[in-house]
Structure 1
Amino acid sequence: MTAELRIPQLGESVTEGTIARWLKADGDLVKADEPVLELETDKATMEIPAGASGRLQIVERDGAVVRVGTVVARITEEAGATAAPSRPPTPATPGTAPAAAVAPRAPAAATADRPAATPRAPAAGTADRPAAAPAARVAMPPAVGRPAGATPEPAAETPLSPAVRKLVAEYALDPGQLSGTGKGGRLTKGDVLRHLEQPPPSDARTPTAEPATAPEKTPAPAAPAPAPPAAAAPAAGREAEVSERRPMSTLRRRIAERLVEAQRTAAILTTFNEVDLSALLAARARYREAFRARHGVDLGLMSLFGRACIAALRDVPVVNARIDGGDIVYHRHVHLGIAVSTDRGLVVPVVRHADALSLADIERRIADLARRAREGKITPDDLSGGTFTITNGGVFGSLLSTPILNPPQSGILGMHKIQERPVAVGGQVVIRPMMYLALSYDHRLVDGAQAVTFLVRVKERLEDPVRMLLEV
């Protein structure tokens, strides 16, 4: 019996995704509910599990753009099958076949991360792979009779098309030293042909051979004079060697589109203020351990700033609204977006109904969403429906910035680095832990006085945490 693996419904407004990579190889045995595929959408990267146990037959390859409902693989159920690779392991790697099955993906990732034509890069990439990985899909070794200096043929583990594989083998090239411009950095036929059209590195060093061809000339020391023009020839080659062109990921393209959309459609303006965090930090230090013991979660600054924003949004509800055509939509609840930096880019998961949650519940939701975002387990639903966003550039050392709106929202608060600075208090100069706050807002909807009032309300609650907790 054969089961089809289809792309599931990905969430609100998400209709397609890109296959980032297969976690299992074609022909591997998989178990039901075992992750077999990483799918990248314009909002998140998620793992797609197998719907049945059996042997995997991949239909859509890495880099393919697939819509919801598309069949990307088939799983053929086999009697008595266990999740072991279809090919027998080598004697040197007994029992390590599952790791070896995934290992063929590793060389491609290693190639994409290093500059093109880096000497001995394949050896460095291999050193980082698990010991079992070399046993996977080992194809033809380098030919014994190949001339010295020729690069070995690519192993079968490199995902090359037949046309590219033929060219690589014919010209004894190492695909690890070529820069791919295809999906996911994959080599294309055009990449190989462009590489072959470039003059070989030995041609760039021909000036060293010229003095040897003219021994009769007495003023031999003058021969190095034309060296600068000759050295200019390989300059472009060296430029290409230290550069690398990679396709943008789906997430990065979506981030770029939304940033441009925000700048194009909204009248973004930013207002600033500064807050004295002495009282807040003292209260946090005093009750942090008791809070952790009682609620099982740390007392972070983000949840405290979230509570301050929720209170301020009640005072100035237009900051929690949005423009929809010719209408203004006022949200009755606060769905708080928290910007999280990940290896794949910035994502903004949403704490839903944050205005109805306790401080401990907000902290739990933030911690859970941030963890899943960094592990690549966030879902599109987690990223949709936000009404107001908080971003914290202070964790990276930012002292002051102007955050960009997260459309269609009308406000975003930027937190920054806490820095001890001299301030005047009661006629005396004292040192206090200060933070600059920035509120970017859509001036089409929010007036300047409303934006300033909102930020002042946030400041007042942070400087008087008792007032914030008592909601007065």
Structure 2
Amino acid sequence: MATEIRVPTLGESVSEATIAQWFKKPGDAVAQDEPLVELETDKVTVEVPAPAAGTLESIVVKEGDTVEVGALLGQIAEGAGAAPAAPAKQDNEPQAKSAGKADLVDVVTPSAGESVTEAEVGEWSVKVGDTVKADDTLVELETDKAAQEVPAPVAGTIVKIAAETGTTVEPGVLLCQIDPSGEGVAAAPAAAAAPAPSAPAASAGSSMPPAPSAQKMMAENNLSADQVAGSGKRGQVLKEDVINAIASGATAAAAPAPAAVARGPVNAQDEVREERVRMTKLRQTIARRLKDAQNTAAMLTTYNEVDMGPVMELRKQYKDLFEKKHGVKLGFMGFFTKAVTHALKEIPAVNAEIDGTDIIYKNFCHVGVAVGTDKGLVVPVVRDADQMSIAEIEKEIGNLGRKARDGKLGMADMSGGTFTISNGGVYGSLMSSPILNAPQSGILGMHKIQERPMAVNGQVVIRPMMYLALSYDHRIVDGKEAVTFLVRVKESLEDPQRLVLDL
């Protein structure tokens, strides 16, 4: 009996892939879950594991062919294969498998989600010799998107830590070993183990040739391999990398890599009081994305101010009743998010994005809410905020905020946003110019509420005022549209009844 090998689901909006390379040929013995073939999409490379142990009977598609999700790749004949490996667990669970000794359990790097191919080992919560219970946190892994805690799959004693803090690891790499009997002899600490090599950042040092679709696009644009930084496995250049390189202004002439900024003379006494700390993956990604946004978009900021008195009075009048009925406190973010969704419907360009020479208008509002954590800034997304009530928005923002602070945000929580709100006012900021969250075309900056003297009906009165800042991509949003958008937000907040009446 033969087992079919088919193209797996490759993620939202990905319907096809290119055969990058086969790891086996017909007649080879394969073990269950052993990688058979690597597929390449415009976003990520994916290894397809063997669904069963046996012998690779046939290969239906060759390297370079494009296949759709669900297409037949080949067949495995049962028998004559290697002993099957332990079944794979869910993507977000650490895999535990037999490790030579039947009584030892391997804890390996779990998959962190679509497009995440590596992680950095953070602080260990345990050391060799420690006793742990099932589901105790062992170590925290940091990716360029979020932090993820790895729990103990079984109770027992830590007998080996194989990956030091700061090591870059790929999914499936051994992190530590647990003796479930609790009697294991402590193995050598992480220092004795060779750290897993990190994937090369650029194609110049990659062991992988560019993906077929990337190679074709590079040839069409006269780009050389050393001009495109690869983000795939082992530094492989993907189609998305070439698109990003073209968008950032790469030309046929290779530009030299930027040199590190030279430090000036450092006094010896000062140097011993310095502390050098490696940037986390998340912080590196934040830095790169913010700089890319500045380099790519024609970014401009327009300002206005809003009298927060009406919203504050409404909160004061109904906050107790609101919390009693909905089980959540009535904050400012619900009003701002609702005001933003009303304005986005009137000015759709602010809710759109540029894709090459096309403009993509979004007929929905997925509003990102920037949240500061001790790991850095993350932007979880309130999906379909335009269809929510203020109470529903407040509940969702509260839930996402808790997940962000606990390091529990997943990829699905932070992808797909169409517009972003950043509240620097909680830290005391009076005025700032927020940077776009690419590929979005607009971001609203909220600030501190401060009482100021204002002229109202010919009289000077003290009012609780807030400065608003809208940064926008001038390539797609005109000044008139940006100013009108900000005025509509101001009008909704100064007259909250407009939100109720959908005006």
* TM-score, normalising length: structure 1: 0.65
Q: Distance in 1 between matches of 2:191 and 2:113?
A: 34
The equivalent residue for 1:68 is 171
Candidates 461, 469, 479, aligned match of 1:448: 479
Q: Distance in 2 between matches of 1:463 and 1:436?
A: 13
Candidates 428, 434, 439, aligned match of 1:397: 428
1:296 equivalent to 2:398? Answer no
1:453: Cα distance to partner?
1.0
Q: Distance in 2 between matches of 1:69 and 1:330?
A: 39
The equivalent residue for 2:342 is 311
**Cα deviations across residues 180-218 of structure 1 (Å, max 9, x unaligned)?**
xxx9xxxxxxxxxxxxxxxxxxxxxxxxxxxxxxxxxxx
The alpha-carbon distance between structure 1 residues 235 and 411, as it changes in their structure 2 partners (threshold 3 A), is closer
Candidates 267, 278, 285, aligned match of 2:298: 267
Mapping for residues 272-287 of structure 1, pairs under 5 Å:
272-287=303-318
Q: Is the 8 A contact 1:28 1:86 kept in 2?
A: no
SS across alignment from 1:270: strand
The equivalent residue for 2:180 is 77
Q: Distance in 1 between matches of 2:121 and 2:362?
A: 36
**Cα deviations across residues 258-312 of structure 1 (Å, max 9, x unaligned)?**
1111111111100111111111111111001110111111000011111110111
Structure with more of its chain in helix, by fraction: 1
1:13 equivalent to 2:115? Answer yes
The equivalent residue for 1:148 is none
The equivalent residue for 2:495 is 464
1:456: Cα distance to partner?
0.8
Q: Is the 8 A contact 1:12 1:384 kept in 2?
A: no
The alpha-carbon distance between structure 1 residues 58 and 241, as it changes in their structure 2 partners (threshold 3 A), is closer
Q: Distance in 2 between matches of 1:381 and 1:235?
A: 45
1:372: Cα distance to partner?
2.2
Mapping for residues 11-410 of structure 1, pairs under 5 Å:
11-56=113-158, 57-78=160-181, 81=182, 236-410=267-441
SS across alignment from 2:343: helix
Match for 2:167: what amino acid?
A
**Alignment RMSD (CA, Å):** 2.4
1:236: Cα distance to partner?
2.0
Q: Distance in 1 between matches of 2:464 and 2:165?
A: 50
Q: Distance in 1 between matches of 2:388 and 2:406?
A: 25
SS across alignment from 1:408: coil
SS across alignment from 1:42: coil
Q: Is the 8 A contact 1:29 1:86 kept in 2?
A: no
The equivalent residue for 2:246 is none
Q: Is the 8 A contact 1:14 1:380 kept in 2?
A: no
Q: Distance in 2 between matches of 1:332 and 1:86?
A: 61
- Structure 2 unmatched runs, 5+: 1-101, 193-197, 199-264
The alpha-carbon distance between structure 1 residues 428 and 374, as it changes in their structure 2 partners (threshold 3 A), is same
Q: Is the 8 A contact 2:162 2:190 kept in 1?
A: no
Larger radius of gyration: 1
Match for 1:63: what amino acid?
G
The alpha-carbon distance between structure 1 residues 86 and 379, as it changes in their structure 2 partners (threshold 3 A), is farther
SS across alignment from 1:362: helix
Match for 2:375: what amino acid?
R
**Cα deviations across residues 212-232 of structure 1 (Å, max 9, x unaligned)?**
xxxxxxxxxxxxxxxxxxxxx
Q: Distance in 2 between matches of 1:5 and 1:351?
A: 34
SS across alignment from 1:450: helix
1:63: Cα distance to partner?
1.2
1:454: Cα distance to partner?
0.8
The equivalent residue for 2:236 is none
Q: Distance in 1 between matches of 2:482 and 2:312?
A: 26
The alpha-carbon distance between structure 1 residues 332 and 26, as it changes in their structure 2 partners (threshold 3 A), is farther
Structure with more of its chain in strand, by fraction: 2
Q: Distance in 1 between matches of 2:332 and 2:491?
A: 16
1:457: Cα distance to partner?
0.8
Q: Distance in 2 between matches of 1:11 and 1:351?
A: 19
1:235: Cα distance to partner?
8.4
**Cα deviations across residues 430-463 of structure 1 (Å, max 9, x unaligned)?**
2111111000011111111111111111011001
SS across alignment from 1:48: strand
Q: Distance in 1 between matches of 2:391 and 2:323?
A: 9
Match for 1:17: what amino acid?
A
SS across alignment from 2:340: helix
1:4 equivalent to 2:106? Answer yes
Q: Is the 8 A contact 2:163 2:190 kept in 1?
A: no
SS across alignment from 1:432: strand
The alpha-carbon distance between structure 1 residues 244 and 22, as it changes in their structure 2 partners (threshold 3 A), is closer
Q: Distance in 2 between matches of 1:76 and 1:239?
A: 46
Q: Distance in 2 between matches of 1:449 and 1:241?
A: 55
Q: Distance in 2 between matches of 1:160 and 1:322?
A: 46
Match for 2:289: what amino acid?
R
1:160: Cα distance to partner?
9.4
**Cα deviations across residues 48-106 of structure 1 (Å, max 9, x unaligned)?**
1122333333222221111123232333432xx59xx989xxxxxxxxxxxxxxxxxxx
Q: Distance in 2 between matches of 1:380 and 1:70?
A: 21
Q: Distance in 1 between matches of 2:340 and 2:155?
A: 49
Q: Distance in 2 between matches of 1:22 and 1:272?
A: 46
Match for 2:450: what amino acid?
Q
Candidates 435, 456, 459, aligned match of 1:425: 456
Q: Is the 8 A contact 2:328 2:395 kept in 1?
A: yes
Q: Distance in 2 between matches of 1:356 and 1:400?
A: 30
- Structure 1 unmatched runs, 5+: 88-155, 163-182, 184-233
1:366: Cα distance to partner?
1.0
1:7: Cα distance to partner?
2.2
- The percent of aligned pairs where both chains have the same amino acid is 54
